Structure 1
Amino acid sequence: MPMNFHDPSNRTSYTTRTADASWLELISKHLNLQGKQAVDIGCGGGIYTHALLTLGAEHVTGVDYSAEMLKGAESNLANLDAVTWIQGDAYQTALPSEHYDAVLERALIHHLNNLPACFTEAHRILRPGGTLIVQDRTPEDCLLPGSSTHIRGFFSEKYPRLAEIEISRRHPSEEVIKALQISGFHDIQELKLEELRAVYDHPEALLEDLRRRTGRSILHECSDTELEELISYISENIKGSGPIIEKDPWTIWLAKA
Structure 2
Amino acid sequence: MPINFHDEKNSRSYASRDADVSWAQAIKSLVDPVGRAVADIGCGGGIYAQAWHKIGASSIVGVDFSDAMVETVKKRFVGDTSYTFQVGEASATGIADGKMEIVFERALIHHLKELEPYLQEAYRILAPNGHLLIQDRTPMDVALPGSEDHLRGYLFECYPRLLPFEQSRRWSSETVAERMSEAGFRHVQQITVWETRQTYASFAELANDLRGRTGRSILHELTDDEIEQLILYLEQRLPKHGPIEERDRWTIWSGQKGA
Tell me the TM-score normalized by structure 1. Answer: 0.97
Q: Which residue of 2 aligns with 1:19?
A: 19
Q: Secondary structure at the match of 1:196?
A: strand
Spell out the pairing of 1:121-136 with structure 2 (5 A cutoff). 121-136=121-136
Equivalences, count: 257
Spell out the pairing of 1:48-87 with structure 2 (5 A cutoff). 48-87=48-87
Spell out the pairing of 1:120-159 with structure 2 (5 A cutoff). 120-159=120-159
One-letter code of the match for 2:23?
W
Cα drift, residue 184 of structure 1: 0.6
Cα drift, residue 21 of structure 1: 0.6
Q: Secondary structure at the match of 1:204?
A: helix
Q: Deviations 1:29-61 (Å, cap 9, x if unpaired)?
A: 321122221100000000001111112111110
Q: Which residue of 2 aligns with 1:8?
A: 8
Cα drift, residue 79 of structure 1: 4.8
Q: Which residue of 1 aligns with 2:43?
A: 43
- 1:12 touches 1:72 (CA, 8 Å); kept in 2? yes
One-letter code of the match for 2:64?
D
Distance of 2:131 and 2:48 partners within structure 1: 16
Distance of 2:199 and 2:85 partners within structure 1: 30
CA RMSD between the two structures: 1.1
Cα drift, residue 72 of structure 1: 2.2
Q: Secondary structure at the match of 1:160?
A: coil
Tell me the TM-score normalized by structure 2. Answer: 0.96
Q: Which residue of 2 aligns with 1:95?
A: 95
Q: Any stretches of 5+ residues in structure 2 without a counterpart? A: none
One-letter code of the match for 2:157?
E
One-letter code of the match for 1:73?
V
Q: Which residue of 1 aligns with 2:224?
A: 224
What is the percent sequence identity of the aligned residues?
44
- 1:15 touches 1:76 (CA, 8 Å); kept in 2? no
Cα drift, residue 240 of structure 1: 4.0
Query: Is the counterpart of residue 163 in structure 1 residue 157 in structure 2?
Result: no
Range with greater deviation from structure 2 (165-174 or 232-241): 232-241
Distance of 2:79 and 2:54 partners within structure 1: 14
Cα drift, residue 252 of structure 1: 0.3
One-letter code of the match for 2:249?
P
Distance of 2:122 and 2:219 partners within structure 1: 30
